Amino acid sequence: MQVTVGEIATFLGGQVVGDEQRLITGISSLAEAADGDISFLANPRYEPMLEETSAAAVLVAKASASARVVQIVVDHPDFAFAKVVQQYGPQPRPMAVGIHPTAVIGEGVEIGEDVRIGAYAVVGDGTRIGAGCRIFPHAVIGDDCWLGEACIIHPHVTVRERCQLGHRVTIHSSAVIGCDGFGYASVAGVHHKIPQVGVVIIGDDVEIGSCTTIDRARFGKTVIGSGTKIDNLVQIAHNVEIGEHCIIVAQVGIAGSTTLGKYVTMAGKSSAVGHLSIGDQSVIAAGAGVTKNLPPKAVVAGAPAQDIKSHHAQVVYQRRMPRLQATVKELERRLAELEQRVKDNQA
């Protein structure tokens, strides 16, 4: 990588504060940057690092007069940095166009133009693979699936039978789409499996992290809305419906038949019990457990989840408990002394 600050600024539509001819040879964080690297400042809390970093240039939302480093002023430094990485950073070795000789392709499969299918990948009967898709080695696409254009299926992903992916869907290694929902009928002390005959339907521009599982519906469909981003190690149960542009962070669990609106955020290790409705733009804090319906724009924390301000107040009171306990013991001691004095006077 060899590009000038001015060239990067032109690419981003940003404004340079400093030497436009400064040569950029690498990409790094503010703390780890070496001479020649470009970095970014997205959180104002780290602004003092502009005076300490060894970076050659930093993307910022607002120029700092005290900074010793060349600055490129852009509207969204974090997003701009992502564009720089994509444009100038290390690029993965491209897959060869075509189907690897060891791949197994079923009967009646439709494959669009410019598709890449890697070694030992499996595509089931009757499946359609849209143009520009990349299916990496050891991925398995089941029978009668539908993949839109430009999907990326990483190694060891399993997309089970009849599931549907929109355009530009990315699924990371070892995720499973369309596994059976967890359904059993207990009769005479025995758990009998309930068939899960529905599907999973994933919208456009969805990204799904490694080792995430999305269960097929018992009947009908489990739905992931367009633009939604799902982290690693997430469990989404049968018949769940997730709206558009949601953020689901690592280790979230969503029980069956729960519905999330648009732009919902579920932070790490949060959860929701089944058959709930969570309104648009709600935010569920890390570790929270939602047990009842939430209106739009709710912000909740705790288990069971409640309004985050109430939860924070309770946490404050809990932290005061040792001091309150000591105060109560002191008051009890004084009361006992007073009672003893009264008894002594009466005597």
pLDDT tens across 6-44, in order? 999 999 999 999 989 999 999 998 888 989 999 999 888
Q: What is the pLDDT, as a whole number, of residue 344? A: 83
Instruction: Write phi, then psi, for 95 (nearest 5 degrees).
Output: -75, 150
pLDDT band at 273 (very low <50, low <70, confident <90, very high): very high
251-277: average pLDDT: 97
Answer whether 120's CB lies under 8 Å from 138's CB: yes
Peptide bond into 90 cis (omega under 30): no
Helix (H, G, I), strand (E, B) or coil at 72: strand
Residue recorded with tokens 């032109």: 10
Task: Return the minimum-mean-pLDDT range out of 35-39, 282-286, 314-318.
Answer: 314-318
**According to the model, what pLDDT value does residue 110 have?**
97
pLDDT at residue 139 in the model: 98
**Burial of 118 from C-beta contacts in 10 A (0-12 / 13-18 / 19+):** buried
- pLDDT at 346 (0 to 100): 82
Residues 92, 74: contact at Cβ < 8 Å?
no
Provide the β-strand partners of residue 135: 117, 153
148, 204 Cβ separation under 8 angstroms: yes
**Is 90 exceeded by the pLDDT of residue 315?**
no
**What letters, b where the CB count within 10 A reaches 16 and e where it falls short, cover 182-219?**
ebeeeeeeeeeeeebebbbbbbbbbebbbebbbbbbbe
Average pLDDT over residues 68-91: 91
Q: Is 172 helix (H, G, I), strand (E, B) or coil?
A: coil
**Band (92; pLDDT cuts 50, 70, 90):** confident
Amino acid 226: pLDDT = 98
- Decide: helix, strand or coil at residue 66: coil
Mean of pLDDT values over 186-199: 95
- Please indicate whether residue 238 is annotated as part of the active site: yes
Torsion sign (Cα): 69, 74, 76, 78: negative
Q: Which two tokens stand for residue 122?
A: 């499996």
Span 157-304 CATH architecture: 3 Solenoid (2.160)
Q: Is residue 197's pLDDT more than 90? A: yes
105: buried, middle or exposed (CB in 10 Å: 19+, 13-18, 0-12)?
Answer: middle
What is the residue-averaged pLDDT of the chain? Answer: 94
pLDDT at 1: 80
Check if CATH label 3.40.640.10 holds for domain 3-88: no
Strand partners, 241: 223, 259
User: pLDDT tens digits for 127-161?
Assistant: 999 999 999 999 999 999 999 999 999 999 999 99
Which pLDDT score, from 0 to 100, does residue 43 have? 86
Stretch 303-326: mean pLDDT, rounded? 89
Going by the DSSP 8-state scheme, the letter that residue 275 receives in this structure is S
Q: Can you give the pLDDT at residue 317?
A: 84
Q: Is pLDDT above 80 for 347?
A: no
Which pLDDT value is given to residue 135? 97
Which of these ranges, 203-207, 219-223, 231-235, 324-328, has the smallest mean pLDDT?
Answer: 324-328
Per-residue pLDDT, 343: 86
- Say whether pLDDT at 222 is over 80: yes
Residues 6+ apart with CB under 8 A from 156: 138, 139, 173, 174
**Inter-axis angle of helices 308-319 and 321-346, to 10 degrees?**
50
Mean pLDDT of 60-71: 86
Residue 116 and residue 133 in contact, taking contact as beta carbons nearer than 8 Å: yes
- Dmax over Cα atoms in the chain, in whole Å? 105
Three-class secondary structure of residue 321 per DSSP? helix
Task: Name the active-site residue from 238, 275, 311, 312.
Answer: 238
Report the interhelical angle of 5-12 vs 77-88 (nearest 10°).
110
More confident of the two residues 303 and 209: 209
Q: Which of 61, 9, 57, 59 is nearest to 33 (CA)?
A: 57
